Structure 1
Amino acid sequence: MKVSKEKAAENRAAIVTAAGRLFRERGFDKVGVAEITKAAGLTHGGFYGHFASKDALAAEACEAAFAESLDRLPADEASAEGALAAFLTRYLSERHRDHPEAGCPMAAFAGEMARLDPAVQDRFGAGVERFFAAVAARLPADGGAGDAGRRARAIAIVSALVGGMALARATARTGPELSLEILDALRTQLGAWGDGQG
């Protein structure tokens, strides 16, 4: 039975969404094509009608995961605490720590990215650049340092967020107090960096 173009596009999107969630939750190497298609509500046989390889899917899923994360940022603009503070509060939350499948692809993928296909690495790098730009746009001017100073602060903040989230997740089960301390300290310190006080 021939599938309509609309249904084919819907099936492809379901595969990408399922892959993005599973990859963030368990890693690229720990998830197979059959599991991804099952999670998407499809059969394994149709996968290669949509993607040439698992690497091709990984590249697209990585890009989609960044888009999903970046799409959340405009909601921070309406927060009474300010866009950067709202972003830090949301990013450095127990909810984000405990649900990597729905969270930031940088924190989920950074540790394994160097071992993946260059096409996946390219999409990851482009997503990181988009995050740097989005955070830089939320920072106040840095006393004459201009765009370069703002970008440098954004890089430092994003890097600390990703590393901090990795540490908070790694200690959550056996050191829950330490995990919370990491999240709390980063919210305070990165907020000060963002204000140009750090």
Structure 2
Amino acid sequence: MPQRDAQKQKTRRQIVAAAARLIRERGPAAVRVADVMWATGLTHGGFYAHFGSREALLAEALASATAYREHWLNIAGATNEADWVAGIARRYLSTTHRRQPGAGCPYPEALAETSRAGGALRESLQVELRHTFDRMQEGLGDAPNGMSADARARSLLALFVGAMQLARAFDDDAEADAILDAARAFAAPATPHATNHAGTGD
């Protein structure tokens, strides 16, 4: 029985991982149970041994997909806040991230449609966004103009996600990269140096 349980948990993780990748690539609305099960080499009929509904799977997969934030928030070698923000801007607003949504942050593909959804998927999105705000706030201090660290975290995430959405709307590489370049330039100079730079390690 323990071996069977371990195998079931492994299969569940595989299903969630496949769904998370498809969410990043397509957005939740375009993710079908049949596609997820095919990607894991399993039959459609086996899905309900692991999840009660498609929405339950998507909610868990969205939460799993947002674990990517640790990749772009952990900047080795940053010695101050400005270096940290410049580092995460370079990593998030990169050509590689633009071209490979399946390996990146789910927000650019998921936000528009998930914000109109209800139930577990919308709740999962809100929880993960708040976690991301909190995680970013750890590396930020209040700005000299009085803007709080929390507000700065929210504005930076909005800049990053919005810029990536705009860049992916263009087929022309030069046009797309110009958007990412502009967003990186906007993010870094607006960030004062500070000693509060939690989360900068690998």
Category of TM-score, reference length = shorter chain: 0.7 to 0.9
Give how far 1:114 is off. Answer: 2.5
Unaligned runs of 5+ in 1: none
Aligned pair in 2 of structure 1 residues 77, 133: CA closer, same or farther (>3 Å)? Answer: farther
Cα deviation, residue 140, structure 1: 3.7
Say how many residue pairs are matched.
Answer: 190
Q: Relative to structure 2, which stretch is displaced further, 109-118 or 51-60? A: 109-118
Q: Does residue 193 of the first structure (1) align with residue 190 of the second (2)?
A: yes
TM-score under structure 2 normalisation? Answer: 0.86
Once superposed, which parts of structure 1, at least 4 consecutive aligned residues long, lie more than 4 Å away?
none
Shift in Å at residue 32 of structure 1? 1.3
Q: Deviations over 1:79-137 (max 9, x none)?
A: 57832221110100001001111111211201111232321111111111111122222
Question: Structure 2: how far apart are the matches of 1:79 and 1:122?
Answer: 34
What is the TM-score when the length of structure 1 is the normalising length? 0.87
Structure 1 residue aligned with 2:163: 164
Report deviation, 1:178. Answer: 1.6
Structure 1 contact 153–193 (Cα < 8 Å) conserved = no
The one-letter code of the counterpart of 1:157 is L
User: Which residue identity lines up with residue 150 of structure 2 in the other structure?
Assistant: R
- SS of residue matched to 1:72: helix
Specify the alignment match of 1:97 in structure 2: 98
**One-letter code of the match for 2:183?**
L
Q: Percent same amino acid at aligned positions?
A: 34
Task: Please list every run of 5 or more consecutive structure 2 residues that lacks an aligned counterpart in the other structure.
Answer: 194-202
The answer to which structure, 1 or 2, has the higher relative contact order (CA under 8 A, 6+ apart) is: 2
Give deviations 1:19-77, integer Å, cap 9, x for gaps: 0101211122222111101111222111001001100000000111112x123146314
Q: 17-26 or 37-46, which moves further after superposition? A: 37-46
Greater share of residues in helix: 1
**Mapping of 1:39-78 within 5 angstroms?**
39-67=39-67, 69-73=68-72, 75-78=74-77
